[in-house]
C-alpha cells in the first residue's frame, strides 16, 4: 500500500541501492523533515523541483527524487503530477497516549499484554523474558548479514510445514535427547504459544475438559478458556504433578489432553524428576490421555533430562519447543512434534488459519542456533540465571518467604510471603515494579498467596527495598 501514490520521475539508475546514495537521500529527507516539524516549511508549500534542488546542493537528481519519494511515502509530502512536491496537510489523528501501566487493573490482560509495553522506568520483576541486554545484538546482526550475503530468498511463502533444514536440525537434536522423530514430524509455528493454541484447537473439541499444571502457564489458561475448553488444574509438588490427584482427575474427567510444562516450570520453576515422569506417562497411557509437553525452558538447563515424550513416544504424545525464550523471543519461532497423522491435521489448521510461517525467521533461528556468539550468550545466560536463582532463594528465605521449589536453573521462582499480602501487586505497581500474582497462574484460585518472580530481574535492590518497606508496615 505504501508503494502507491509514488511518482517515478525518472528511470532509476543501476546504483540505486548503493549505500552512499541511500545515505545522502536519507540525510536530505531528515533535513526536510526537521524543517517541516519546526514550521520552517508549511503545509501546502511547494518544494524546489528535483532538478533545482540537485543543482543547488550539488547532488544527483536521483538522490533528491529518492528523498522526496521517501517523504511522500511517509506522508510528509504530496506529489502532484506535473506540479511537483508539496508539504502535506497535517494528516491522521495524533497518536493517543497509552494508558499508564499504573492506572490499569492487574488481571490476565495486564500480565499478557500491558506489561509488554516496555517502560524503562519500571522493574519487570514478574515478567516472563530475559533483560534485553542479555541478548547478543552482534550475534543477531551477524546472522542477518550472513543471510543477506547468501541472498537467501525470504520472499516466497515457503514450505507449509516450515523451513526444512531447520526441521531436520530439530529432529536430530531431539534424537540426541532420545525422542526419535523425523523432520516430517516437526511443524514450525509462530512461537510455542501459537503451537499450544493449535494443538488444543486440533486435538480437542470446544467444551472438553483438558488438564493443565496447577499452578500453570497464565497465557495457556486464558487461551483454553477463550477457545471454549474447560481447563482443570493438576496440583504440583516440587518434583512435578501429584500423581494421586492426577489419577483421580483422569478417572473423573476422562480428558483427551494434559498440557504440562515439566522443566523449569512456568510459574513455579519446579521440574519433574524422571521417576515422576515415568509415573505420569504410565497414568496417561493407561487412561488414553495425550500429554502436550511444553518444553520451552529446556535451553536454560545445562544438562536437561530426557523429555517426557521420549518415554511415551511422539506417536501418542505431543512435544512443543521454541527458539524464542533463549535466542530471540521476537523471532517467534516455535514448533510442534507429533505423529504423522496429527502433523497432517495441525498443518491443515495452520494453513487455513494463517498460511505459512515466515521462512526468514526460521533461517535466522537456525543461523543463531549454530553461531558461536549465540552459544556463548546462552551459556552466559544459563550461568547468570543459576547464580540469580541462588541469590534470590537466599534472600527470600532470609525474609521469611516460603519457596514452592528450589530451581537450580531457569527464570522462574514461585514464593509466598510470610503474611497474606492481597494488594501486593497493586502496591508494587505504584512503586514502579511489575509483580505477577499467583492467582493468574491458577485455574481454581488455589495459588492466590504465591508470586512468580523472574530471577533475572529480582536481584535488583529496588525490589528488596520495596519488599523491606512492607515488612515494617
Shortest Cβ distance from residue 414 to its own copies (Å)? 22
Task: Give 246 or 346: the residue with its C-beta nearer to its own copies.
Answer: 346
Q: Which range touches its own copies (CB under 8 A), out of 246-254, 362-370, 398-406, 421-429?
A: 362-370
14 binds its own copies (CB under 8 A): no
Other beta carbons within 10 Å of 263: 25
Q: Which of 193, 173, 222 shows the shortest CA–CA distance to 442?
A: 222
d(CA 226, CA 84): 53
Nearer to its own copies (CB atom), residue 141 or residue 394: 141
Instruction: Among 358, 407, 410, 437, indicate the residue that binds its own copies (CB under 8 A).
Output: 358
Q: Does residue 157 bind its own copies (CB under 8 A)?
A: yes
Interface with its own copies in residues 337-356 (CB under 8 A): 340, 347-349, 351-356
d(CA 417, CA 393): 13
For the segment 19-58, give every residue that binds its own copies (CB under 8 A): 22
69 contacts its own copies (rule: CB under 8 A): yes
Binding of its own copies by 151 (CB under 8 A): yes
Stretch touching its own copies by CB under 8 A, among 242-250, 370-378, 391-399, 448-456: 370-378
Residue number with CB closer to its own copies (135 or 466): 135
Q: How far is the CB of 322 from its own copies (least distance, A)?
A: 8
Residue 92: count of CB within 10 angstroms of its CB: 6
- Report the relative pairing of strands 209-214 and 230-237 from DSSP bridges: parallel
Task: Kindly report whether the peptide bond that precedes residue 215 is cis, defined as omega within 30 degrees of 0.
Answer: yes
**Nearer to its own copies among residue 58 and residue 92 (C-beta):** 92
Question: Which of 32, 193, 404, 451 is the binder for its own copies (CB under 8 A)?
Answer: 193
Q: How far is the CB of 247 from its own copies (least distance, A)?
A: 31
**184 half-sphere exposure, CB direction, 13 A CA radius:** 3
Q: How many angstroms separate the CA atoms of 441 and 416, rounded?
A: 14
- Of 105-113, 245-253, 403-411, 414-422, which part binds its own copies (CB under 8 A)? 105-113
6 binds its own copies (CB under 8 A): yes
Q: Compute how many residues bind its own copies; rule: CB under 8 A.
A: 123
Which of 20, 39, 58, 91 forms a contact with its own copies (CB under 8 A)?
91
Site for its own copies in 419-448 (CB under 8 A): none
Of the two residues 261 and 298, which places its CB atom closer to its own copies in the complex? 298
Interface positions, 295-314, toward its own copies (CB under 8 A): 295, 298-299, 301-304
Please state, in angstroms and rounded to a whole number, the distance separating the CA atoms of residues 309 and 301: 17
The 8-class DSSP code of residue 445 comes to S
Radius of gyration of the chain (CA): 27
What whole-number distance in Å separates Cα of residue 54 and Cα of residue 62? 8
As measured in angstroms, the least distance from the Cβ of 433 to its own copies is 19
Residue among 331, 343, 415, 435 that touches its own copies (CB under 8 A): 331
61 scored as a contact of its own copies (CB under 8 A): no
Q: What cell was used for 453?
A: 518472580
The window from 63-71, 233-241, 275-283, 465-473 that contacts its own copies (CB under 8 A) reads 63-71
Report how far apart, in Å, the C-alpha atoms of 107 and of each of 245, 265, 381, 441 are: 28, 21, 30, 11
Window 220 to 279, contacts with its own copies (CB under 8 A): 222-223, 226, 228
* Helix segments in 185-242, DSSP class H: 191-203, 218-226
Is the CB of residue 161 less than 8 Å from the CB of residue 470?
Answer: no
Q: Find cell 494453513 and name the residue.
A: 351
From the list 203, 338, 359, 435, which residue makes contact with its own copies (rule: CB under 8 A)?
359
Nearer to its own copies, 160 or 235 (CB): 160
Selected binder of its own copies within 68, 124, 129, 396 (CB under 8 A): 129
CB of 266 to its own copies, least distance (A): 13
Partner residues linked to 317 by β-bridges: none
Our CB check for its own copies shows the closer of 165 and 468 to be: 165
Q: Exposed, middle or buried: residue 438 (CB in 10 Å: 0-12, 13-18, 19+)?
A: buried
Question: At how many degrees (to 10) do helices 372-398 and 137-150 cross?
Answer: 150
Find the shortest distance in angstroms from Cβ 128 to its own copies: 9
Question: What burial class does residue 292 get, using C-beta atoms within 10 Å of its C-beta: 0-12 exposed, 13-18 middle, 19+ buried?
Answer: buried
464/459 Cα distance (integer angstroms): 8
For the record, the C-alpha cell of 259 comes out as: 498440557
Q: Closest approach of Cβ 179 to its own copies, in Å?
A: 10
Q: How far is the CB of 155 from its own copies (least distance, A)?
A: 4
Q: Which of 435, 274, 454, 272 is nearest to 381 (CA)?
A: 454
Amino acid at each position: 500500500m505504501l508503494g502507491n501514490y509514488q511518482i517515478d520521475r525518472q528511470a532509476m539508475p543501476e546504483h540505486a541501492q548503493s549505500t552512499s546514495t541511500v545515505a545522502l537521500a536519507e540525510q536530505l529527507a531528515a533535513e526536510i523533515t526537521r524543517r517541516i516539524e519546526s514550521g520552517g516549511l508549511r503545509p501546502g508549500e511547494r518544494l524546489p523541483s528535483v532538478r533545482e534542488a540537485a543543482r543547488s546542493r550539488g547532488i544527483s537528481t536521483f538522490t533528491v527524487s529518492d528523498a522526496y519519494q521517501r517523504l511522500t511515502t511517509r506522508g510528509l509530502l504530496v506529489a502532484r503530477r506535473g506540479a511537483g512536491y508539496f508539504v502535506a496537510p497535517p494528516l491522521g489523528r495524533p497518536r493517543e497516549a497509552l494508558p499508564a501501566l499504573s492506572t490499569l487493573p492487574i488481571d490476565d490482560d495486564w500480565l499478557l499484554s500491558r506489561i509488554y509495553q516496555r517502560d524503562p522506568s519500571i522493574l519487570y520483576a514478574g515478567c516472563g523474558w530475559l533483560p534485553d541486554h542479555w541478548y547478543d545484538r552482534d550475534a543477531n546482526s551477524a546472522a542477518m548479514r550472513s543471510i543477506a550475503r547468501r541472498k537467501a530468498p525470504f520472499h516466497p511463502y515457503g514450505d507449509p510445514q516450515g523451513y526444512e533444514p531447520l526441521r531436520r536440525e530439530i529432529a536430530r537434536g531431539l534424537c540426541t535427547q532420545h525422542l526419535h522423530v523425523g523432520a516430517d514430524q516437526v511443524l514450525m509455528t509462530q512461537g510455542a504459544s501459537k503451537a499450544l493454541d493449535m494443538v488444543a484447537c486440533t486435538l480437542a473439541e470446544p467444551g472438553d475438559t483438558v488438564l493443565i499444571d496447577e499452578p500453570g502457564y497464565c497465557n495457556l489458561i486464558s487461551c483454553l478458556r477463550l477457545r471454549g475448553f474447560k481447563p482443570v488444574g493438576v496440583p504440583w509438588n516440587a518434583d512435578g504433578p501429584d500423581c494421586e490427584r492426577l489419577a483421580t482427575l483422569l478417572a473423573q474427567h476422562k480428558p483427551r489432553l494434559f498440557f504440562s510444562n515439566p522443566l523449569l516450570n512456568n510459574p513455579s520453576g519446579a521440574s519433574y524428576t524422571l521417576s515422576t515422569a515415568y509415573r505420569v506417562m504410565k497414568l496417561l497411557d493407561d487412561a488414553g490421555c495425550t500429554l502436550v509437553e511444553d518444553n520451552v525452558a529446556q535451553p536454560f538447563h545445562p544438562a536437561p533430562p530426557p523429555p517426557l515424550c521420549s518415554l511415551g513416544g511422539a506417536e501418542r504424545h505431543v512435544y512443543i519447543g521454541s527458539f524464542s525464550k533463549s535466542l530471540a523471543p521476537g523471532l517467534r519461532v516455535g514448533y510442534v512434534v507429533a505423529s504423522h497423522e496429527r502433523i497432517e491435521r495441525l498443518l491443515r489448521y495452520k494453513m487455513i488459519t494463517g498460511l505459512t510461517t515466515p521462512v526468514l525467521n526460521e533461517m535466522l533461528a537456525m543461523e543463531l542456533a549454530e553461531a558461536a556468539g549465540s552459544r556463548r550468550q546462552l551459556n552466559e545466560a544459563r550461568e547468570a540465571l543459576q547464580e540469580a536463582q541462588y541469590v534470590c532463594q537466599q534472600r527470600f528465605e532470609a525474609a521469611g518467604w516460603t519457596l514452592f521449589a528450589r530451581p537450580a536453573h531457569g527464570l522462574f521462582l514461585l514464593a509466598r510471603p510470610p503474611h497474606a499480602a492481597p494488594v501486593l501487586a497493586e502496591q508494587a505497581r505504584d512503586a514502579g515494579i511489575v509483580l505477577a500474582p499467583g492467582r493468574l497462574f491458577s485455574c481454581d484460585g488455589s495459588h492466590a498467596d504465591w508470586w512468580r518472580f523472574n530471577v533475572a530481574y529480582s536481584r535488583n535492590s529496588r525490589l528488596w527495598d520495596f519488599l523491606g518497606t512492607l515488612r515494617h508496615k
